[in-house]
Amino acid sequence: MATDKELGDFLTSAERRALKQTVFAVRDEDAALDIVQDAMIKLAENYGDKPAAELTFLFQRILHTTILDYFRRKKVRDARITLFSSFQSDDDDNDAIDRIDAQASNFSLSSEASVSHDQIVGQIEAEIQKLPARQREAFVMRYWEDMDVAETAAAMGCSEGSVKTHCSRAVRALSEALTAKGITL
């Protein structure tokens, strides 16, 4: 069982690394700070009675889940904005929500780089959709949802070797298709 001092020392030592990891994941420093604080609170409230040796693993899992929750909420919020924006009249081209959304998503990119980025992402998503279902499922779980091989195997109902095979084939197929289109990552 971790003492309050051990828990406090762990949180202090993990804060900077967790914040850096989260900023990289969500690309928004304020949201990243909120996510890290939420993860720390969840760890302290729910797992403060666990041994100090387990805190690192527990915190990483909580942080990962909190980041995924952030993206899920953002997806729902963005869908609502899109739905409500469709009710605007055609002569209202300067909708405030659209301007804010455009500024937030392109804050660090020039308009040319943003269009290029959007086109490349669209091409990658199209190629992912062309993958066979099991390869696509394994690829998305492993590389977008950041699940490990065992978790992916359990979710897909297959062996870990099958997950590795599906992922390998998906990566090879995507690499060939994107290289043929002149896209290098």
Residue 153 sits in a domain whose CATH number is: 1.10.10.10
Count of domains observed in the chain: 2
Residue 69 and residue 114 in one domain? no
pLDDT band at 102 (very low <50, low <70, confident <90, very high): low
Is the pLDDT score of 120 beyond 90? no
The reply to whether 68 and 117 lie within a common domain is no
Model confidence at 93, pLDDT cuts 50, 70, 90, reads very low
In a domain, 92, yes or no: no
In a domain, 36, yes or no: yes
Q: What is the per-residue pLDDT for 30?
A: 93
Structure token pair of residue 53: 């040796």
Whether residue 114 sits in one domain with residue 74: no
Of 30, 25, 22, 65, nearest to 47 by C-alpha is 65
Say whether both 10 and 78 belong to one domain: yes
**Region of residue 60 (left: phi > 0; alpha: psi -120 to 50; beta: else):** alpha
- Report if residue 56 sits inside a domain: yes
Would you list the DSSP string of 43-105?
Answer: HHHHHTTS-GGGHHHHHHHHHHHHHHHHHHHHHHHHHHHHHHHTTS-TT----HHHHHHHHHH
pLDDT of residue 70: 92
Question: Residue 80 — pLDDT band, cuts 50, 70, 90?
Answer: low
Residue 122 lies in a domain: yes
Q: Is the pTM of this model over 0.75?
A: no
Question: Is 133 found in the same domain as 183?
Answer: yes
In a domain, 40, yes or no: yes
Domain that holds residue 21: 4-82
Clarify whether residues 9 and 76 are in a common domain.
yes
Same-domain check for residues 132 and 73 = no
In a domain, 94, yes or no: no
- What ranges make up the beta strands (E) of 67-178? none
Distance (Å, whole) CA 160 – CA 168: 12
Identify whether 69 is part of a domain.
Answer: yes
In the block, which residue shows the tokens 């729910």?
Answer: 46
Supply the pLDDT for residue 88: 46
- Residue 89: pLDDT over 80: no
Which amino acid is present at 114? S
pLDDT at 10 over 60: yes
pLDDT in tens, 130-172: 999 889 888 888 887 778 899 889 888 899 999 999 999 999 9
Question: Do 139 and 78 sit in the same domain of this protein?
Answer: no
